[in-house]
Structure 1
Amino acid sequence: MIIASEWAGAAARNNAEWCDAVCRAHGVPGEFGAGVWSSARRTPPLYPDAVSLTPGIAPDDLLARIDTASPGCSVKDSFACLDLEPWGFEVLFEAQWIHRPAGAAPVGHPAVSWEPLKSADALPVWESAWNDGEGGLGLFRPELLAGDTTSGDTVFLAGTSTDGVIVAGAVASRSASVIGVSNLFAVGDATRGEAAAWAGCLTEIDRLWPGLPVVGYESGASLDIAVGQGFTPVGPLRIWVHTD
């Protein structure tokens, strides 16, 4: 039986692989080293410069791999065990890794149909919906759509209303043993918000990758909603941001 801390480790590795994919799509290659994924160059907005992969990584070892001098440097402390205050960091927020066993999901709303994006032309529309209709930021590049659903890459899932509008979505990324979900959203009510988005997203993931468990991380009310959809919290994490 896999214990909670092992699920947290699998979730952290999956999340680091997703961060690495986003960075590489922006021409910023990261590196997997002993106990940490890191980028020596500043990463795209909202993405960390390092993700710890084991609880034993020393702060000096981690910080030596990243650029702490440039504004916006951040670290995903995957086991909430690092003290980075002496190096000029403060906690931006805390969350919980979550795990859901493989299997059927609650039924999503019948007015929203889910499927992977098939065209790079649809990616800015998806991103605009994810960004509360404020327009695409160019954060998610077409290179992220290059993989397929059987090789372990990334799928952008879109929940579309009956009139063809994207009203919900999520990113699903496969790693060795789990499917990671990030960037889950629902536009307005979207037939009952995040809970409905989770149900539709999980149903589509079970169709694409039957038999694989699902991981991610959430906090606050979003964590409560995920628990209501069959997830279990399996360990804390922290996001640190450099302030000096």
Structure 2
Amino acid sequence: MDAAPPAWHDQLVIIDAKWAGAAARNNAEWCDAVCRAHGLQGEFGSGAWSSPHRTPPLYPDAVTLTPEVSAAALVALLDTASPGCSVKDSFACLDLEPMGFEVLFEAQWIHREAGGTPGVADLDWEPLKSAESLPAWETAWNDGEESTGLFRPELLSDGTTFLAARSEGRIVAGAIASRGASVVGVSNLFTSADEESAWAGCLAEVARLWPDLPVVGYESGESLDSAVRQGFTPIGPLRVWLHTG
């Protein structure tokens, strides 16, 4: 007999508007920080953050902040003439197909209350202490591929903390923590070993650094299941659209 899916699988359409909105805002602020580190100026509007210029690889050209955004008005702010334009539809409610977009992937925003007890971690985590460590961190994050400078030193002085776990002096797991006004966003979690242990170590360090702040982020598939087992709750769907012409 197949194992029953986790109970939250039956609740994917339920949105916790407060925390989904906070997670979307935190993610938009992180995307904006990455763009500024690359010399690009984004803009926070009434319903979305957007960049009129092509953003760095893997980062969207817009992140919606409310469900009420006009799809046509949002797309009008973007450079759809250049390849790779994408939109993070934070509430999975836009229809961008008529404007030449297709769904790239779907995921769930997640939320974890402050003060929760993390699981057992195999390794201790700590913040990177200098910009000189960033290339090694990016190489580990990118499965051993040489750093391309996606994560620039400017991020270290822009409210962003790169977390790492080491084994025999080598970075084997990591994540990015971006502190906002009311939450800490965790993204880019990676590990060469057990993902749940990585979550446990990451969350223990986040709790040490910001004991009074809840944690948000987004995940999908098995990574979402791992996050849920470490105390996160799915709070609503998001969808990323890619412009294909």
Judge same fold: TM > 0.5, yes or no: yes
Q: Where does residue 106 of structure 1 map in the other structure? A: 119
- Matching residue's letter, 1:105: P
Q: Where does residue 173 of structure 1 map in the other structure? A: 178
Aligned-pair CA distance for 1:137: 1.9
| Maintained 8 Å contact 1:107/1:203 | no
CA distance in 2, matches of 1:43, 1:90: 18
Q: Where does residue 140 of structure 2 map in the other structure? A: 129
Q: Where does residue 5 of structure 2 map in the other structure? A: none
Equivalent runs, 1:63-142 vs 2, <5 Å: 63-103=75-115, 104-109=117-122, 112-142=123-153
Equivalent runs, 1:229-240 vs 2, <5 Å: 229-240=230-241
- The percentage of counterpart residues that share the same residue type is 73
Aligned-pair CA distance for 1:61: 1.3
The match for 1:155 among 157, 161, 165 is 161
Q: Where does residue 215 of structure 1 map in the other structure? A: 216
Q: Normalising by structure 1, what TM-score?
A: 0.93
Aligned-pair CA distance for 1:107: 2.6
- Matching residue's letter, 1:158: A
RMSD of equivalent CA atoms = 0.9
Aligned-pair CA distance for 1:120: 0.6
Q: Normalising by structure 2, what TM-score?
A: 0.92
Q: Secondary structure at the match of 1:184?
A: strand
Q: Secondary structure at the match of 2:135?
A: helix
Aligned-pair CA distance for 1:237: 0.2
Q: Deviations over 1:152-196 (max 9, x none)?
A: x100000111x1111100000011100000000002x2xxx2111
Q: Where does residue 164 of structure 1 map in the other structure? A: 169
- Matching residue's letter, 1:36: A
Q: Deviations over 1:198-244 (max 9, x none)?
A: 00000000000011100000001110010000000000000000001
Q: Which runs of 5 or more residues in structure 2 are unaligned?
A: 1-14
Q: Which runs of 5 or more residues in structure 1 are unaligned?
A: 148-152
How many matched pairs?
230
Structure 1 outlier segments of 4+, above 6 Å: none
